């Protein structure tokens, strides 16, 4: 049964990005939502967070493969990522978000360790 599920799946390869690039992700998120004023309006915070993960995934995803068709590509745009996340079962979309958090957390810890080691 697992082999059948894997044949129907989409494989996604991600890499972490330096936290310094996060400013660009935030900028793209604000632009895509039409937020011009400084700060994030409290009533749009959930919308901002959802879009933020999509924009972050644009930078993190380096390769993906549709295992049903064999189609492979090196990037996904925001529309494709939104469609993918909307298509995934809740447990898998949460796993997708946790993977992004994990990758970015590891990068931040790694950079902090390097910064502490440099004199």
Q: What is the tally of structural domains in the chain?
A: 1
For every residue of 85-100, which 3-state class applies, written as one string? HHHCCHHHHHHHHHHH
pTM value? 0.78
pLDDT digits (tens, 9 = 90+) for 15-54: 888 878 888 999 999 999 999 988 889 999 999 999 999 9
Structure tokens at 82: 């939104």
Q: Which domain holds residue 47?
A: 2-117
The 3-state DSSP class for residue 68 equals: coil
pLDDT value of position 12: 87
pLDDT value of position 116: 45
The 3-state DSSP class for residue 110 equals: helix
- Following DSSP, what letter does each residue of 11-49 receive, concatenated? EEEE----GGGHHHHHHHHHHHHT--SSS--GGGHHHHH
């Amino acid at each position: 049964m697992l082999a059948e599920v894997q044949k129907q799946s989409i494989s996604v390869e991600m890499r972490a990005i330096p936290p310094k690039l996060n400013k660009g992700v935030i900028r793209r998120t604000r632009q895509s939502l039409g937020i011009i004023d400084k700060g994030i309006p409290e009533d749009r915070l959930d919308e901002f967070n959802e879009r933020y993960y999509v924009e972050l995934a644009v930078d993190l995803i380096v390769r993906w493969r549709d295992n049903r068709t064999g189609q492979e590509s090196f990037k996904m745009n925001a529309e494709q990522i939104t469609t993918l996340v909307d298509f995934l079962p809740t447990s898998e979309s949460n796993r997708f978000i946790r993977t992004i958090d994990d990758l970015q957390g590891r990068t931040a810890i790694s950079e902090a360790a390097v910064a502490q080691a440099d004199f």
